[in-house]
Chain A
Amino acid sequence: MTLPGLAFRNLRRNLFRVVLTVIGVAVAILAFVSLRTLVWAWTSGGEWAAKDRVVTRHKVTFVMTLPLRYYEEVKQAPHVKLATFANWFGGKDPNHDKEFFSTLAVESKTYFDVYPEMSVPAEQLAKWQENRKGAIVGDVLAKKLGWKLGDRVVIQSGIYAGDWQFDIDGIYTATAKSVDRSTLVFHWKYLNESLPDRAKDQVGWIVSRVDASGHAADTGVAIDKIFDEKDTQTLSQDERSFNTSFLAAFSAILKAIDVISVVILLIMLLILGNTIAMGVRERTNEYGVLRAIGFLPRHIALFILFEAMFLGMLGGALGLAMAYPFVNLGMGRWLEENMGSFFPYFHVEPSIAAMGFALAVILAGAAALLPANQAARLKVVDALRRVA
């Protein structure tokens, strides 16, 4: 028998209460881990962004387009070794109009070279490049909507009128977590030739790859300088900044989630504090006995802290055991399939799991501080007189 062992044994004293508390902590940790994963999955696009990609868009907003000729000029900018462009199409499948997915009209010769993490089998890519009406879709989207290679699908756009027919020529998979596996890409030329003259030759944004990641910022400045004196000015950012500026629009939601996370932790603190305080109160007489036979106030405080931290460990471990299947197989799978543009990869990160577990243990310790201090400060004779 050891001192920590004795603290652990004390947990068996009121099993019903301990089980309820552990479940309470576990549910709090489940909620905390789910929310932190939500924030992480939402914001990690910036972290995962390629360091050697520069995104150039209209200076005012990414909703406004750039003239196609800018693409040629960007390609000539220093350190740019490759560039492509894309337009937001805003398409949806009329047979599944509740399903949201990204549809992009892209420069077909270069797009998959600039985004090598979108992996398309060579023969499918070759076939697509030969087919003006061809489309390549993510594997998650294909599975969800039941699309197979060779299928002809009809897409409608909220921006461009009419029914747009596409042949599914390829299905891409992802070699990086950042890739949205629910996107449909097709030839920009197909879009462009279908537009009236006044709307032709416009691109949504240009993406360049530079020869070294250290040149991304300088290259962005250099590109913007090229267009400084022109009618349409640009804003070039490395991909991380671009993603971050997109997320800035949702900063209020992210802050709200942060606040809710803190509230959850506070609730957990109160649950633990209540259980620990009740246990300490019931056992005051025993602490008196321990003090009488020679235990010091610090031993009593440590007993209580150890016991609380064991409680936190049990709750944290159970919370994580619940969070992994809930997030990875339930909530995460649903979000990846249905909101892949925002959450291309929604899984519990080990760092978030570790943080959840550590917080359960630390907060349990914090919740025990006051009762432990009070128990340690009790006079022996007063503690011995106390009847639970």
Chain B
Amino acid sequence: MEVRTLALDLGLVGVLQTGADPPADAGWYIDPRTGQRVYYDPNTRSFYTLAGGVYIPLGYMNPAPKQVAIGPGEKLKITISYKYSGPAVSGALERFCVGVYGVLGFNETLVGENTRSLPASTTPLPYTGTYTFTIPTNVGGDWDDIYCKLYGGSPGVPQTLFGYENALLIAGREPTISELTIVDFAKV
């Protein structure tokens, strides 16, 4: 009887390292936080999932690793870091946004931008950018999402987005009450 072999090439399968640079090779990886298999394409510098034969880009919004409580008049400082290699770029923009992320996308309620010049480099060089918002008195209780974007310039840098959902605990004009308890009652 003839033995027939079905050979499947799964390609490279590896575990992504938290905090490390994106992998250099295209292929399937395992997200160590979720255990989800994701596909990385170095040409688009994006991760994808595969469903119904279609590669779907992973969303740019992620669960926030921590929450910051903040209210009107207080200052919120957002710091980003990234690496860049390529030709020299002038006028690239770092965009910082606070707002509401929903089914229709990100509603930017507070926006700030820095202009950056990135020198030419053949190896990835680290950069950081910061922006400080002053929370206005009319802040909405649902302005709890943030995202940052690197884009534009000449020549243009590849647009890169990253955001956190529920990153802020907004103390707005209306009070939020919790743990209401009747401690005691007595005749006066």
B partners with A:
no
Which residues of A are at the interface with B, using a C-beta cutoff of 8 A? none
Residue numbers of B with Cβ under 8 A of A are: none
